[in-house]
Amino acid sequence: MSGPILVVNPNSNAAVTEGLDRALAPFRLPGVPDIHCLTLEEGPFGIESQVDSDAVVMPLVRLVGDRRDAAAIVIACYSDPGVEACRSVARCPVWGIQEAGVLTALSRGDRFGVVAIAPVSIARHRRFMRRMGVLDRLAGERALGVSVDESARGDSTFALVEEVGQALKSDGSDVIVLGCAGMVCHRAPLEAALGIPVIDPVQAAVAMAWGTVRCSFPAFGGSG
Amino acid sequence: MSGPILVVNPNSNAAVTEGLDRALAPFRLPGVPDIHCLTLEEGPFGIESQVDSDAVVMPLVRLVGDRRDAAAIVIACYSDPGVEACRSVARCPVWGIQEAGVLTALSRGDRFGVVAIAPVSIARHRRFMRRMGVLDRLAGERALGVSVDESARGDSTFALVEEVGQALKSDGSDVIVLGCAGMVCHRAPLEAALGIPVIDPVQAAVAMAWGTVRCSFPAFGGSG
Amino acid sequence: MSGPILVVNPNSNAAVTEGLDRALAPFRLPGVPDIHCLTLEEGPFGIESQVDSDAVVMPLVRLVGDRRDAAAIVIACYSDPGVEACRSVARCPVWGIQEAGVLTALSRGDRFGVVAIAPVSIARHRRFMRRMGVLDRLAGERALGVSVDESARGDSTFALVEEVGQALKSDGSDVIVLGCAGMVCHRAPLEAALGIPVIDPVQAAVAMAWGTVRCSFPAFGGSG
Amino acid sequence: MSGPILVVNPNSNAAVTEGLDRALAPFRLPGVPDIHCLTLEEGPFGIESQVDSDAVVMPLVRLVGDRRDAAAIVIACYSDPGVEACRSVARCPVWGIQEAGVLTALSRGDRFGVVAIAPVSIARHRRFMRRMGVLDRLAGERALGVSVDESARGDSTFALVEEVGQALKSDGSDVIVLGCAGMVCHRAPLEAALGIPVIDPVQAAVAMAWGTVRCSFPAFGGSG
Amino acid sequence: MSGPILVVNPNSNAAVTEGLDRALAPFRLPGVPDIHCLTLEEGPFGIESQVDSDAVVMPLVRLVGDRRDAAAIVIACYSDPGVEACRSVARCPVWGIQEAGVLTALSRGDRFGVVAIAPVSIARHRRFMRRMGVLDRLAGERALGVSVDESARGDSTFALVEEVGQALKSDGSDVIVLGCAGMVCHRAPLEAALGIPVIDPVQAAVAMAWGTVRCSFPAFGGSG
Amino acid sequence: MSGPILVVNPNSNAAVTEGLDRALAPFRLPGVPDIHCLTLEEGPFGIESQVDSDAVVMPLVRLVGDRRDAAAIVIACYSDPGVEACRSVARCPVWGIQEAGVLTALSRGDRFGVVAIAPVSIARHRRFMRRMGVLDRLAGERALGVSVDESARGDSTFALVEEVGQALKSDGSDVIVLGCAGMVCHRAPLEAALGIPVIDPVQAAVAMAWGTVRCSFPAFGGSG
């Protein structure tokens, strides 16, 4: 029998975790695997810098080491903190949401754009995308220039999100990735406004995790 | 309300379609989307060459144009025939399985290997992976040197599949993609034998499609 | 003895074929190889989309399979439809004009620009150039935004062609490729106006074909 | 009226120049442009090192500056000495044979191999190919390990050439470039032995030059 | 006035720090900057895994934050732990030794090889080099397969180091990087044995730091 | 005992050599290695074109061949003329300043910008950076559009240098390389004005040379 997919919010803001929980409702169906969203208690209230991101790595490693029951783990922060370390100690697959969001985008368009929250994150994301070897397909990354909290509010910030999305489309993007764990409320409206696919990275990671877990157990028929 | 995910087998061998159907059982759950596996009647009995692959493009375009009810479409041939053309006429997202399989592999390891059926396919796949811009992460591709039909038989060909998998691991692969739509029976055993993840490209594509469809409709809660 | 170089216009517009014929006059000299320009009767009147391009592949494969006398074949459409499939069935070398035009440009400058006809083609061309592995040398591609028919008219559209050419030069291009089979009338005037080389892709492909054929036969002295 | 295509042998060995002259017989037809093969008197007897290659740059620049009548210039040494400098002073296009040979190979196959004369040249060629941005398509380069003089002798060295060619084919090459100006005698036999295209870089450069010159003059009908 | 260059050994093995101190003797001259080698007390005895490497990041950030007097900081572990985070909090430049070692190697040869300690590190280093964008110049990385402690012993392990170095030379390396902070004793002997440059990454980083600090202060004449 | 580090100014303008001499004062300390700045008498008064650059290669080769006492050689021209040829004849390591400046910049930021003197140099530098394989990390190169002589004057041209620096920062540069041997007077002021590191390529090359020489001799303690 399969354990749950753990989706870990590495900041200590429980409201973000609740948002993840709602965003993942489509994956909750009768039958395994279940989806559990957790808050990393040791995390900062928000992860907004390289130091914030590095500060949660060891707590994540301990959490992952403790949860031997997990069928899959998703680290729900766009900086993908500790993904490699967690992979080295986990008994199950581990996904980072930047990685999963970008890879899913590459299945939907030829050149992708990223909506970042803060300008300071762009260089960090770019280093990560270069490490992934996918820079030839990046059309551009642009920042909203708001706080993480503001970025997650649907109505009041959508106009800004759409403006950045249009700029990314002008850069040549034919698919957009939302560059934060808490922007799912903008996914469908932005897709409608731009007429090109918009990827929520948490949903993208959980889809990969869900499919992998479902197909890994003979009882589910994957390789019967 | 959402229509089905169509998984199209572009060859006319109904046994292959039945195999796809069994492989996708894990995605069949109470509630939408449903998964329909179809045989392309106009296809050749097997797709083993560039001409075979190109010959099915226009029939696929017509099929896709006719099925306006589809919520998503997966072209279940590792040559990804007609994916761009189908995308241009479809009302819904379209996935190719080589693309989805490779991208999913990139979320599970740093360098991937591909188990091809025939040596002649390797150059074609390589061109496609260069077009994707992911060659820096390819550790190697090696062929079984058997027929498509033989490759899908579990017991009798597994020894050969394992031998090729071990060679790919020696090339530096830390994740393997099965380079054909009909090799799902080898996925779990090869993963167990090699100790690294093995990706079935049809399951990878359907996981992406399933997640995208599930998260696209407010009724399912994706952006509530 | 050597057969002709076949230059195939994959659309059914005979006026385009006649234009090719005139553009290739410089290659018609006493002695082999001869140059034959053909119209693909099954082709659409113009190739303006991915589906148009894919629709001519199988007719091209049949034509190539029938013409066993050809010494070389050039597919004269900038989408390079069916080039790989034709190569797999032909007894002689096959050139696509996008491929030949871009490669010839790389021998004349460090960074090239492409004048496309329609904006929608740019993404398709970019995928092809990424597959070729030459994106690091692309300075830019820009579209005229006219019909294929308009693009081939010398006087009335040259002002627009020059404007796009100047923009590509500002992007950093030091050589320009005309991104369509029917724009040869603009080659010399654009070269004069911009002061940098301008490549007609049909002439580029035929030059490669002509040289290859001339040098392949001992009777012509290639390796005597 | 058009002047001649100058093919400059930058070493002072007149026998090499005579070999070039014979190799280019297929391009000599009634009508312009004519092909003149020249020996650079100031050159060393053979160009076998970085210093040899750099030593001929300024003499080439002077020669090119003096020959204002040339319609095109080909520098017939696989190190492509002085090509950029010659371009900056010439009134006409200038080709290097490594550049032209590799680009022509890329129109004939997906991955190319190079037959070098001496092991010491491989790193120099590799730097040049990296500068061209085409390394993703190099399958391998291997050296004969003989003198330039030996490499040009048909019968006695062909066995060695074929052995190196087979090794390059095993490396994944589907087209071969002869990595020296004087190996044309091996082109047709090696092509026959390997069953894949073999490119002589001098013929490749002259084909490009010939086509460019032929198509540049209205009198020849290029843009009439 | 300038403070010291801090060279931080992020493991808690004081013998390693003493080795660094001896290796950096050539940089100790009358006049600033001074070189201080420190042991990170919170570090593990050796850094041999992703988790070990991540575990020292926050202690390094704190140490760097406390040492406002430093003129430059070198993190002396080949995994380059915490370099980005330290850069974000430091008042002075920060170097990682993998980064500095590889970049210095690129100034000495065209293709570099890396002598790793353990096979498990190779994938981690490769991800880092891909992030740097320098993979096109990597000829190979090979592991000694010994403990960190053994790798630092001059006489008894040199035969193994030389064997791995020869293999890297056969891979095409024309310069070698020692892939650990404690292998300086092998630098000169390996360089003598192989006849190609061998880079100690700590010395490479300190040379960059030393030059930067020396040239940053008008009193030293850098921009007088 | 170690000989001097030779820093060769390949133009014949002695004032430039004197400027180099002042810029390298920070490297002159009691003890070896000494730094000697030389003027190449055969050089042109300024190197401003491809031909100028190529014209000094053979004189540099002769100078390097004559100075068997050198412990290291730096060719102090941003075109890096003759670096490969000098390496092939020298008994000691040879650095080019473009190469060293760019590599040092890569240790200080993720994306670099280059301040060129003349627009015409940008394409030449770009070819060189592509050969280095570092284009993925170039944010931009922009020219001052002044003479070499003007570029070296501190006060009067700093406003222009700062303007170009700000534009490069807007392009995404987080570190700047001064693209000429004679701009050291702008290094510290530009760094202060932009708030990001600015690299003088001569100082960068000499730091690498100095460190290499210091660490190469057992008497200095490098591997004691």
Chain C touches chain E, with at least 3 Cβ pairs below 8 Å, answer no
CB-based contact, F120 to chain D, within 8 Å: no
Count Cβ–Cβ pairs < 8 Å, chain C vs chain D: 133
Task: Return the number of other C-beta atoms located less than 10 Å from residue E110's C-beta.
Answer: 20
Tell me what pLDDT residue A199 has. 98
The string of pLDDT tens digits covering residues E80-89 is: 999 999 999 9
The CATH number corresponding to B98-201 among 2.70.150.10, 3.40.1210.10, 3.30.70.100, 3.40.50.12500 equals 3.40.50.12500
CB-based contact, F146 to chain D, within 8 Å: no
How many residues are recorded in chain C? 224
Residue E218 pLDDT greater than 80, yes or no: no
Residues 56-85 of C with CB under 8 A from B: 57-58, 61, 82, 84-85
Tell me what pLDDT residue A111 has. 98
The string of pLDDT tens digits covering residues B212-223 is: 999 996 544 333
In chain A, alpha helices (H): 14-23, 50-55, 57-66, 83-89, 97-106, 121-132, 148-151, 154-170, 187-194, 201-214
Distances (CA, A) of C142 to C51, C116, C177: 22, 6, 11
C135 touches A134 (CB < 8 A): no
Residue A42 pLDDT greater than 90, yes or no: yes
Tell me what pLDDT residue A218 has. 52
CB-based contact, E93 to chain F, within 8 Å: yes
Nearest alpha carbon to residue B8 among B92, B91, B96, B75: B75
Taking the CA atoms of B88, B91, B97 and B101 in sequence, report the sign of the dihedral they define. Answer: positive
Tell me what pLDDT residue F100 has. 98
Per DSSP, the three-state class of A114 is strand
Residue A151 pLDDT greater than 50, yes or no: yes
Tell me what pLDDT residue C154 has. 67
Tell me what pLDDT residue E196 has. 97
Any residues with CB less than 8 A from the CB of E15 and at least 6 apart, and which? none
Domain ranges for chain D, please list them.
Answer: 5-96+203-220, 98-201
Give the least confident one: B149-158, E167-176, E190-199, F180-189: B149-158
CB-based contact, F119 to chain E, within 8 Å: no
Only one residue has tokens 């790989």, namely C84
Q: Which of E93, E203, E221 sits opposite F26 (nearest CB)?
A: E221
- Say how far apart CA E65 and CA B83 lie, in whole Å: 53
The amino acid occupying position D36 is: H
Q: D218 to chain C: which residues are within 8 Å by CB?
A: 188
Tell me what pLDDT residue A152 has. 77
- Say how far apart CA C154 and CA C185 lie, in whole Å: 6
Band of residue A2 on the pLDDT scale cut at 50, 70, 90 = confident
Tell me what pLDDT residue B217 has. 66
Check residue A195 and give left, alpha or beta (phi > 0: left; psi -120 to 50: alpha). Answer: left
Contact at CB, B128 and C124, closer than 8 angstroms: no
Q: Which long-range contacts (CB under 8 A, 24 or more apart) does B44-48 make?
A: B44/B11, B44/B12, B45/B11, B45/B12, B45/B13, B46/B11, B46/B13, B46/B147, B46/B148, B46/B149, B47/B10, B47/B11, B47/B77, B47/B79, B47/B81, B47/B148, B48/B117, B48/B118, B48/B120, B48/B121, B48/B148
Domains E5-96+203-220 and E98-201 share a fold: yes
B101 touches B200 (CB < 8 A): yes
Tell me what pLDDT residue B154 has. 67
Contact at CB, F130 and D133, closer than 8 angstroms: yes
Tell me what pLDDT residue F152 has. 77
- Say how far apart CA C33 and CA C209 lie, in whole Å: 10
CATH class given for the domain over D5-96+203-220: alpha beta
Across chain B, mean pLDDT equals 93
Tell me what pLDDT residue C33 has. 86
Tell me what pLDDT residue B172 has. 96
DSSP letter for each residue of D99-141: HHHHHHHHTT-SSEEEEESSTTHHHHHHHHHHHHT-GGGEEEE
Across chain F, mean pLDDT equals 93
Contact at CB, D184 and C223, closer than 8 angstroms: yes
Residue F26 pLDDT greater than 70, yes or no: yes
Tell me what pLDDT residue E219 has. 42
Only one residue has tokens 């092998």, namely E186
- Say how far apart CA F81 and CA D57 lie, in whole Å: 12
Q: Which fold would CATH assign to domain F98-200? A: Rossmann fold (3.40.50)
Q: B174 to chain E: which residues are within 8 Å by CB?
A: 123
Selected residue with higher pLDDT from A149 and D18: D18
DSSP letter for each residue of C167-192: HHHHTT-SEEEE-STT-GGGHHHHHH
Residue F86 pLDDT greater than 90, yes or no: yes
CB-based contact, D131 to chain E, within 8 Å: no
The string of pLDDT tens digits covering residues A157-180 is: 999 999 999 999 999 999 999 999
ipTM for this prediction: 0.95
Chain A touches chain F, with at least 3 Cβ pairs below 8 Å, answer yes
- Say how far apart CA F147 and CA C136 lie, in whole Å: 30
What is the nearest CA distance from C59 to chain D, expressed in angstroms? Answer: 22
Band of residue F29 on the pLDDT scale cut at 50, 70, 90 = confident
The string of pLDDT tens digits covering residues C133-189 is: 999 999 999 999 988 778 877 678 999 999 999 999 999 999 999 999 999 999 999
> Looking at residue D142, what DSSP letter applies?
E
Tell me what pLDDT residue B221 has. 39
Residue E159 pLDDT greater than 70, yes or no: yes
Q: What is the Cα E125 distance to its own chain's centre?
A: 13
CB-based contact, F136 to chain A, within 8 Å: yes
Tell me what pLDDT residue E222 has. 37
- The CATH architecture annotation of domain C99-200 reads 3-Layer(aba) Sandwich (3.40)
For each of chain C's 224 residues, which pLDDT tens digit applies?
479 999 999 999 999 999 999 999 999 887 768 999 999 999 999 998 999 999 999 999 999 999 999 999 999 999 999 999 999 999 999 999 999 999 999 999 999 999 999 999 999 999 999 999 999 999 999 999 988 778 877 678 999 999 999 999 999 999 999 999 999 999 999 999 999 999 999 999 999 999 999 998 654 433 33
**Farthest-apart Cα atoms in chain F, separation:** 51
* Over residues B143-164, mean pLDDT: 87
Tell me what pLDDT residue E220 has. 40
The string of pLDDT tens digits covering residues B71-112 is: 999 999 999 999 999 999 999 999 999 999 999 999 999 999
Spans in chain D with pLDDT lower than 70 = 1, 32, 154, 217-224
The amino acid occupying position E95 is: W
- Say how far apart CA E98 and CA D34 lie, in whole Å: 57
- Say how far apart CA F127 and CA D84 lie, in whole Å: 11
- Say how far apart CA E97 and CA E87 lie, in whole Å: 14
Contact at CB, A128 and E131, closer than 8 angstroms: yes
Q: What share of chain D is helix, strand, coil (3-state, %, to 5)?
A: 50, 15, 35
Residue E103 pLDDT greater than 80, yes or no: yes
> Looking at residue D174, what DSSP letter applies?
S
Task: Return the number of other C-beta atoms located less than 10 Å from residue E223's C-beta.
Answer: 22
Percent of chain F past pLDDT 70, that is, above it, reads: 95
* Over residues B153-170, mean pLDDT: 92
D183 touches D152 (CB < 8 A): yes
- Say how far apart CA A198 and CA A222 lie, in whole Å: 29
Distances (CA, A) of B62 to B50, C169, F37: 20, 42, 74
The string of pLDDT tens digits covering residues B111-120 is: 999 999 999 9
Tell me what pLDDT residue F49 has. 92
C131 touches B131 (CB < 8 A): yes
Selected residue with higher pLDDT from B2 and A185: A185
Q: What is the Cα A89 distance to its own chain's centre?
A: 21
Tell me what pLDDT residue C223 has. 38
Selected residue with higher pLDDT from A29 and F27: F27
Tell me what pLDDT residue D41 has. 94
Tell me what pLDDT residue A30 has. 79
CB-based contact, A131 to chain F, within 8 Å: no
Band of residue A154 on the pLDDT scale cut at 50, 70, 90 = low
